[in-house]
Amino acid sequence: MVVGSTPRERRIAYLRAPGDGTPAPGIVWLSGLRSEMTGTKASALAGWARQQGLGCLRFDYSGHGQSEGCFEAGTLGQWLAEARAAFAALTRGPQILVGSSMGGGIALLLLRALMAEAPHEAARIKALVLIAPAWNMAELMWSALPASARRDIIETGIYLRPSRYGDGPYPITRAFIQEARQHRIGDAPFDPGRPVHILHGLQDPDVPWEHTLDLVAHLSGDWARVSAVPDGEHRLSRPQDLALLFDVVGELVRAQAGS
């Protein structure tokens, strides 16, 4: 799939599995920062969806996985635009968005944008499942950085943040932080207008549990539900975590199929 126009045109890799033709909603997976569509949770969810006869779409943002582009040049707005393009071009009918970490924030931003600009498209989003959602990306990242790292970003434009997941350090650029600040959910309450179920590990070292509590306080309309995992960390990719994810998504699918 090609997104954007010259000189920012990029080719986005995706995996799309059709459903069995039932009216149940499909699943759209939105990955986290530096994650790929072939990662543990994405692959497990796609396998579960196949067993349930549900369609499933997953893709790599530019600069990630099999997609074109340079990670350092990516921005939150660019990846949001890719998610919107993929949703419009590669899905039909009702869908449930499942987003992990940054992907959870992108799911919320995508819903908000479509509600404002394309309500008929927004109506196809029947529910959101968010896994440790990094919904205020710029401030979450900035507040977690030590003073020396902030100084590097301000003075040199880049900081190489160590990774606890064995995939090497990854760059945080001044341009990324500045651009991400343009994509806040906002200071006013946001009514998503459909169920939002959040899964969050209480031992998460990357996206604090309090970040989800702040999000729940920000969402109006009594749509939000939270499943806390007492011994869970950020990735929530253990067998028991995946079982919880499948239960939550399955409940939302059944609710929509029966409505």
Q: Which domains does the chain have, with CATH numbers?
A: 2-137+187-257 (3.40.50.1820)
Three-class secondary structure assignment of 136-205? CHHHHHHHHCCHHHHHHHHHHCEEEECCCCCCCCEEEEHHHHHHHHHHCCCCCCECCCCCEEEEEECCCC
Q: Could you tell me how many residues make up the chain?
A: 259
Mean pLDDT, residues 202-217 taken together: 96
Please check the confidence at residue 128 and state whether its pLDDT lies above 90. yes
Share of the chain above pLDDT 90, in %: 85
Average pLDDT across the chain, whole number: 94
Q: What is the pLDDT of residue 162?
A: 84
Asked if 68 contacts 62 with a C-beta cutoff of 8 angstroms, the reply is yes
Please check the confidence at residue 253 and state whether its pLDDT lies above 90. yes
Q: Express each pLDDT in 28-86 by its tens digit.
A: 999 999 999 999 999 999 999 999 999 999 999 999 999 999 999 999 999 999 999 99
Q: How many Cα atoms occupy the beta-carbon half-sphere of 32 within 13 Å?
A: 19
Q: What is the pLDDT of residue 20?
A: 87
Asked if 127 contacts 94 with a C-beta cutoff of 8 angstroms, the reply is no
Q: What is the pLDDT of residue 21?
A: 82
Q: What confidence category does residue 9 fall into, taking pLDDT thresholds of 50, 70 and 90?
A: confident
Q: What confidence category does residue 131 fall into, taking pLDDT thresholds of 50, 70 and 90?
A: very high
Short-list 198, 184, 192, 202, CA closest to 141: 184
Please check the confidence at residue 91 and state whether its pLDDT lies above 80. yes
Burial class of residue 110 (count of CB atoms within 10 Å of its CB; 0-12, 13-18, 19+): buried
Give the C-alpha separation, 6 to 143, whole Å: 35
Q: What is the pLDDT of residue 248?
A: 98
Asked if 35 contacts 100 with a C-beta cutoff of 8 angstroms, the reply is yes
Q: What is the pLDDT of residue 259?
A: 63
Which single residue is written with the structure tokens 């651009």? 179
Greater model confidence, 210 or 185: 210
Tell whether pTM > 0.85.
yes
Mean pLDDT, residues 197-225 taken together: 96
